[in-house]
Amino acid sequence: MIRRILYILAALVLATPVWAQAKGEQKGAAPGSFDFYVLALSWSPAYCANGGDKRSTEQCASGQSNGFVIHGLWPQFEHGYPIECPSDQTDLPKSVLETAHRLFPDDRLAEHEWKRHGTCTARAPADYLSDVAAARQHIAIPAAFLQPKSEVSLAPIDVEKAFSDINPGLTSSMMSVACSKGELQEVRICFTRDVKSFRACPEIEG
C-alpha cells in the first residue's frame, strides 16, 4: 500500500493531549442500562499511515479513498461506560454481516465493536447496526475532510467548528476531537439513546 501521508489532516496544537475514552470502564454491566451513545468517527488516512495497513488490509487497501470511517457506536454512562456485557448473541449472525460490512471499514472491527459495545445496548444485532447507520446518516462531513489533496493544519477547536457549522444543533459541548502526535485520530459525537438528537456530554467533551 502507498502511504498517504499527505492526506493526513494534522491537528497541531501545543499541549493538546490524546483524548481517551472516559475513565470508569464497567465490564459486564447490565445490558441496556446506559445514558447515551457516542459515535466515533476515525480518520482513516492517519490510521492507515501509522500501522493500520498491517492490521486492516481491507480498510487500507491501495486505491481506497476513505476519509472518516465508523469506528463504533458506544453506549455511555454520564460517568464511565459499559463494555462486554452479558449476551446470548456474542457473535454477529450471518444475517447481518452484509449490513455490518457496509457500515464498518473492516469486518473484524464490526465483530469487535458488537462484542465490546453492542452487547451492552440490550439491542438485537440488527437493531444495533440500525442505530449505527442512523447515527452516521445524521452526520454531514465538512468539505475540508472529503478526500483532501494536501496536508492541512487545524486546531481541534477548528475541527469542531467545521462539524458544527454544517450539522444544525451540534455544538462543541456535544463532541470531542482526538489527536496523537499532531495528527487527527477521531471525532466523537454524542447522541441521545434514540439516536435522533445530539446531546451534551460533559465528561466526553472534557
Tens-digit pLDDT profile for residues 84-121: 999 999 899 999 999 999 999 989 999 999 999 999 99
**pTM of the predicted model as reported, rounded to 2 decimal places:** 0.85
Structure confidence at residue 195 (pLDDT): 97
Among residues 34, 56, 62, the alpha carbon closest in space to that of 195 is found at 34
Other CB atoms within a 10 A radius of the CB of residue 116 amount to 16
Catalytic amino acids? 71, 113, 117
Asked if pLDDT for residue 59 goes beyond 50, the answer is yes
Among residues 48, 41, 75, the alpha carbon closest in space to that of 62 is found at 48
Q: Look-up: residue for cell 465528561?
A: 203
Q: Across all residues in the chain, what is the average pLDDT? A: 85
Position 49 confidence tier, pLDDT thresholds 50, 70, 90? confident
Structure confidence at residue 146 (pLDDT): 86
Position 135 confidence tier, pLDDT thresholds 50, 70, 90? very high
Q: Look-up: residue for cell 451540534?
A: 170
Q: Please compute the mean of the pLDDT values over residues 62-86 and round it to a whole number.
A: 88
Structure confidence at residue 3 (pLDDT): 36
CATH no. for 5-205: 3.90.730.10
Cα–Cα distance, 186 to 176 (Å, whole number): 8
Asked if pLDDT for residue 18 goes beyond 60, the answer is no
